[in-house]
Structure 1
Amino acid sequence: MSTPGGPMQPSHGPYLPTTAGLGGMPTKGLDVPITSVFLVLFVLGAVTHMTILQINLRRGHKFIMSGLLFGFCMARIMTCTMRLVWSTYLTNISVAIAAQIFVAAGVLILFIVNLIFTQRIIRATHPHLGWAKTFSWAFKIYYACIIGLLIALITCTVDSFYTLNKSSRRADRDVQLLGSTFFAVAAFLPIPLVLGSIIIPKKTRVEKFGSGRFRTKIYVLLFSSFILSLGAFFRAGTAYVPRPRNDPAWYDSKACFYLFNFTIEIIVVALYAVIRVDKRFHVPDKSHGPGDYSRTAPAQEAGEQEPEMEKRSSLADRVLSEEQVFDDDEETQVGSPAERQTDVEVGLTKPEPTQ
């Protein structure tokens, strides 16, 4: 984020920044159409994930991460809206501050979602480690640090626009650099943790959860973590080498801004909707220890028949199941047998071959 100060400043805050920010000042001719496209995409993402959340809740299938993905899309809708307003009122520094804060803060939701998925992978591969109180508390403390640093980052960013004191600006910049670095590590952390869970010898069989192949869960998580960490490290790297506002570097260009922010994020949002993470990463409610991920739901254990509402196939269940994307192996099929049979009846999938 930009650090204010320098000559020709207003008599009072907020003051103009002296360093170039990622993406620079928005323009009507270029930023408005591009930002409008991303605004529409994030609206579609919000509608999709909220639809999936509501359908699952009606079925008693609780998956809070769909709500977090909806919240992220809403944050990005606000980000795009603020950037559009900023392109119209270029001299309004308050709008510029809000736009920069939303750009930096919104993506943290995706980092937290990936960390939750990572924790579930570790608990499935190494349950005695993943369910240990020390390990669980480590994740909780890490989430608290993310939220705490976010609050500090917002506070220091706002303060940096309202002071010309060199000591205060230096302290604000130190916090901004710490925050951007910490967030980049948070984006990258799922990769070494998941790879470590694969490499470290297992004491028990993998406790599979959700639908689909376990390896596909790992591929999806590694891919999304990689591209998110790519964007996070790019933002952190540019923060360490600021350039004057009148002489921006190539990494301050609008192309880099949209590529390493909105483009990466909408890919993850779309991927998580198409690949149906709400089914792949779902675990039984009230899971508290080893063996809980693979336990059967109480209604199924008792031999009870599923409610009629749960048997109905909705549009959300027909969003490109993995057997359409990859192959027809039974282990890769997403959804319950009743839902897959409905897909066959409406012609969305091929019937299973008879043995």
Structure 2
Amino acid sequence: MFEMERETRMKAVKAGQAGKAVKAQSHKKFLFVIALTAFTAFTALTASPAFKIPSEQEISDMIELLRKEAPKNVAHRIEVISARFIGMRYVLGPLGEEVRGEFDRDPLIRFDAADCTTFIETVMALALARNKREVVPMLTKIRYKDGVISYQTRNHFVSVDWVPNNKQAGLIEDITEEFAGDGVRWAEKVISKRQWYLVKTEEILDKENVNGFGKKLSPRKRQALVAKWQALGKDIPDEPARLAYAPVALLKEKAKKIPSGAVFNLVRVQDYPVVIVSHQGLIIQKAGQTVVRHASSVNGVVEDMPLEEYLAKYETSKYPALGMNINVVQEVQEAKKVQSTGR
């Protein structure tokens, strides 16, 4: 789903991580109200006691209010919207391609659970949408190359999919070089989607489908589906990835200069298995403190953590953090406004 560059997914897959293509414009048929109510049918999970799942009306009101308060300040909208989800439960791989998906039939959108990447994507979609009808189309534009909904076109890898495709769509700007100046460093690795697909298993099928879709199939159909899944990468050439990052020491030194609402991609040492980035989150400046706001697999919820405390966690890790790639979310230009699904 996203560089499935997430540490927990890496532990499950080890050797790597990323359907039958859904028509390019199929997302227009997914009305926000349908998607919002649909997610409840896909999970029996409950949110943290401190977190109340927002209703459709609350989502609509929040977008409308923030558009009036800060029509040209997407960073502020990100701050407010992301704060609303503090306490939301962490669930790995909670989103998919709905009932039209071939390999992952989790809902397109949900507000009761997220992992590190889907948290970022959902917040971005809510912050960039002008009304509730634009939320699902905006989310698909963020999550999928050219907004085409399919497992193959999902932005699975942060370094070669998520960052470049969202830059091309005009949704983010990579400011790492500008922020780090002469201190900028570069992480490089060859990404093998072919190998990532090859290691797909029935176990991973079940992990991808939080809703239990894979377990409902007969053993024969499960095996056939996994074989088809594994074959998706056979013609995909290996791709060199190169990502700028600000080193940990520089991040600590210039923490207060990181724009609030920026998206960070945590870059790990070069021998980290398969990928460059293991985690995504937001940088928030509040009350004179720089904090990481992220969906934490360790603590099981969306939380705030002081940046220095967050970085310190990796000092004794087998795969220490090298630094962060930093991106700011861009206001959607009128010419590129996502089409509404409303009637």
Q: TM-score, normalised by structure 2?
A: 0.25
Which structure has the greater CA radius of gyration?
1
Structure with greater proportional strand content: 2
Q: TM-score, normalised by structure 1?
A: 0.25
Structure with greater proportional helix content: 1
